[in-house]
Amino acid sequence: MSAEPLPELDPVIHAQARLRVVATLNTLPDGDQIAFPGLKDVLAMTAGNLSVHLSKLEEAGYVDITKTHRGRTPVTYVALTKRGRAAFDDYTKAIRALLDTAGGTS
């Protein structure tokens, strides 16, 4: 048995809802953003629940939230930051390594 320590999983991303948010935003091309209602619909989350998780991700520097107006209508856009993309990449590598240690590869 290997004495290597198990990889650490980023607790900010590891929460199921935040993982879904980051994974979804990671599918957007670098620099692209999505309007809050669109993200809410894609994830089938309530506005309040999504807002709470976006706040945690924003505090960590993983997402950028831009509030603006389209005419007189307020619009909120969400984008994954470079730091967020790197954190998601590190997270997926850690998950793969963890699964590898458990014999989860074919």
Residue 36 confidence (pLDDT) = 98
Listing DSSP states for 18-86 in one string gives: HHHHHHHHHTSPTT--EEHHHHHHHHT--HHHHHHHHHHHHHTTSEEEEEEEETTEEEEEEEE-HHHHH
Q: What is the spatial distance between Cα 63 and Cα 92, in angstroms, rounded to a whole number?
A: 17
Mean pLDDT of 18-30: 97
Q: pTM of the full predicted structure?
A: 0.88
- Reported as a single tens digit per residue, the pLDDT across 65-76 is 999 999 999 999
- In contact, 78 and 47? CB cutoff 8 Å: no
Backbone angles phi, psi at 92, to 5 degrees: -65, -35
Q: Please give the DSSP secondary-structure letter assigned to residue 94.
A: H
Domain 11-100, architecture per CATH: Orthogonal Bundle (1.10)
